[in-house]
Structure 1
């Protein structure tokens, strides 16, 4: 059972890696994916690097600098106080004045050091750096397009995240050669998406389908070589789009041979970007033939079961499939109650107001919102409706249904996006942790 920890969660949500521990979530987790690392145009190709730069694409995807941001400060430069840290000790400012590293490197700080502390407390926990994501998949199509470019990208990612050669930041006295070694046990590739369908500024190559397979094979080769040097197996995973249209743009039976497992992003099937509705489910386990969105061949694949079967039919072993469960909901407002009075499959006026973004809300907030909670008997998805606002999300009951499904199908497990969306006592995460029970 795994979960994504979002780099930016330490800001508005004030959710730190210490909270993963104090909430009780950590004892249920076998892996954490740290989101995200970015890829940059560099040295005549494309490379992993860590910089600190506000992300223009977060608010304006048409900005020429969209997709080029980074947050090295949150990653490894911020000094956490003792009360903020996993082990209760504050991050050190620097090395002793006579230490030969002084002026050339600084102590590991920020989220990376907290990840290392969490691993020390939970020795069975694996941590991966997740590269890409919705906002930072700009260069994947180009970086994967030739053998030399693939080799350059993979080598750079291993250099930064596995060997831990972090750019030295003199102002914060952080980073340096080898400072980040031991934080990450592998790499998670979150290319959104091969063949298109992601941000408008992403560079899409007509050969993305084959190049995705080749890129992962290159990651596997270089990770195996790097792992042999340190005497451990380094993990390689991906996060993939779960609709049938996204799966069709890749070669699951082939690329899965390079992977330890596949994280299916089995959420965001429907949401506020469909501004006037109809309201529908964002992470339903099964398809409802009555859904207006299930009248097309692709629409019928927008559910967990179809995503899993699509991968199995493409030749992916069940033991490499991990189902995603969102710790947030998608919603609309101005919703007509409809003939049943529950707002389902009804028109809307706009995305529902959200704390951080319209149309989306964390579970920890949704659970306390007014409205009646319904559970659909066919889709096994919950929703809340207060007469005008509709939210589709997972409750403990529907989360447990997904755990049972994973067990019945002999899949590898489940993961969450993202850990900071849960309640202070990790209500959903603890239910999902039942997947580890025999």
Structure 2
């Protein structure tokens, strides 16, 4: 299973954690309150996809989100926080027609790029919390080094707070982005388990991840003293129970997090020889693979390990996984394939909005009991999370009283936001 797309025992630290964690944890909801809707907006969305922050307004997404995670900030070889793309993040000027505010950027203004657009988005939607997401599939190489010692943890956290929360961007005016971000989302993929090739991995990552969260809580607590604001601390967590057990002290981790977003996709993909579901709510009855992956398997595992139900936020995909050269039996499901399906940006991976435009070539198949759908044309197979399936997932989250739903990623939706509408309709049931 792959993804896109992740202890200071002193009395002072304990006191700070106790003092400040409840403030931060108050954001979101408990049982009976409105579930969170968390969406990832990537700093590469504005390139080939030409999906701008403004599009979150025009397609109706922004008012339906409670949290937006801006992805990704990276870690350098020393474990310090850096921008992965300064041009996209804070240097690119936007014209009036591209801007949330409808006004063209002045190239001499202190803040440009996506960060300035997010600032404008928050001005329009003041209840929206915007967090910086660190790492991701291609940005997690040095997390293990950053988390290794008390000194490395302290230096890492200090650098991230200085860069993203205090807004001291390299090459920009001091504090140019101050006050934009409401917290930090850690996407370390994965502690103690293999992620992207070349990632640093250690067996002690499991305990060090908890220690890193404690250091974040400590320094975020100090920042709260200075600013009077509370800050989110969230993390993207894996679906694979083996990765969960190997990399996370679940009960301790959730005690430190505002909430955790749980991988609800990439259960299967074209790195495997058989077609399969990538985001089914339950394991399909005829699934021939082992171990079994589904959202229910993942959620139940976190709950058994001590995660509070109202802090478990289930991920949902706005994209499809696909195979081609598929044997034409069983409507293409659980059949051998020759490789990944051709696609626009990455073989075997396609945005929903692009596949929807090709829907006439395919037949839609559904398994309502397991909670997944797929497309098949006799040779090419795509997993299919459309408004029907996203509403089903939203209802599952609501019925199980989970903490909400998370979207990877917002740029996959249509110009009228049909996926976010389906999801939030289900969440509101």
Superposed pair shares fold, TM > 0.5: yes
Q: For 1:330 and 1:36, how far apart are their aligned partners in 2? A: 22
Query: Aligned partners of 2:107 and 2:339: how far apart in 1?
Result: 48
Indicate whether 1:198 and 2:195 are aligned. yes
- CA drift at 1:387: 0.6
Question: Which aligned pairs between 1:208-357 and structure 2 lie closer than 5 A?
Answer: 208-249=205-246, 250-274=248-272, 277-293=273-289, 296=290, 299-300=291-292, 302-338=293-329, 340=330, 342-357=331-346
Distance in 1 (alpha carbons) for counterparts of 2:100 and 2:176: 19
Return the match for 1:11 from 28, 31, 47. Answer: 47
- Structure-1 residue corresponding to 2:100: 86
| 2:82 paired residue number | 49
SS class of match (2:97): helix
Find the partner of 1:396 among 387, 391, 399: 387
CA shift at 1:231, angstroms?
0.7
User: Displacement of 1:224 after TM fit?
Assistant: 1.7
Aligned to 1:21: 57
What is the aligned counterpart of 1:361 among 328, 347, 350?
A: 350
Length, aligned pairs only:
390
Rounded to whole Å, the distance in 1 between the matches of 2:380 and 2:203 is 41
Residues 139-165 of structure 1, C-alpha deviation per residue, up to 9 Å, x if partnerless? 001110111100100010000000001
Q: Distance in 2 between matches of 1:134 and 1:375?
A: 30
- RMSD (Å) for aligned C-alpha atoms: 1.1
After superposition, the C-alpha distances for 1:164-190 in whole angstroms (9 at most, x for unaligned) are 01111xxxxxx2210011210000000
Query: Partner residue of 1:119?
Result: 122
Deviation string for 1:88-142 (max 9, x for gaps)?
Answer: 1111222xxxxxxxxxxx5110000000000000011000000000000010011
Q: Secondary structure of the residue that 2:365 maps to in structure 1?
A: strand
Tell me what 1:98 maps to.
none
CA positional deviation for 1:237: 0.3
Deviation at 1:217, TM superposition (A): 1.2
Q: Supply the distance in 2 between the matched residues of 1:211 and 1:20 (Cα, whole angstroms).
A: 36
1:407 aligns with 2:398: yes
The 1-side partners of 2:318 and 2:225 are apart by 37
Taking structure 1 as the reference length, what is the TM-score of the superposition? 0.87
Give per-residue Cα distances to partners, 1:231-257, cap 9 Å, x unaligned.
Answer: 111000001111112211211111111
Name the SS of the counterpart of 1:239 in structure 2: strand
Matches of 2:423 and 2:195, distance apart in 1: 29
2:163 corresponds in structure 1 to 160
SS at match of 1:24: coil
Question: 1:63: which partner in 2?
Answer: none
Report if the CA contact (8 A) 2:387-2:421 is conserved: no
SS in 1 for 2:170: strand
Kindly report which structure 2 residues correspond to 1:412-423, keeping only aligned pairs within 5 A, or say none.
412-423=403-414
Distance 2:182 2:364 in 1: 40
What does the per-residue CA deviation read over 1:333-381, in whole Å, with 9 as the maximum and x for residues that have no partner? 010111x3x0000000110001011001000011232110011133210
SS at match of 2:346: coil
Distance 1:284 1:437 in 2: 20
- Take 1:227 and 1:418, find their aligned partners in 2: how far apart are those partners? 30
Higher RCO structure, 1 or 2 (CA under 8 Å, sep 6+): 2
Q: Which runs of 5 or more structure 2 residues have no equivalent in the other structure? A: 1-36
Describe the SS at the equivalent of 2:337: coil
Kept after mapping to 2: 8 A contact 1:16/1:84: yes
The alpha-carbon deviation at position 209 of structure 1 amounts to 0.7
Q: What is the TM-score normalised by the length of structure 2? A: 0.89
Greater CA drift, 113-122 or 370-379: 370-379
Shift, 1:229, TM fit: 1.1
Task: Tell me if structure 2 keeps the 8 A contact 1:129–1:184.
Answer: yes
Q: Do the aligned partners of 2:194 and 2:201 also contact (CA within 8 Å) in 1?
A: no
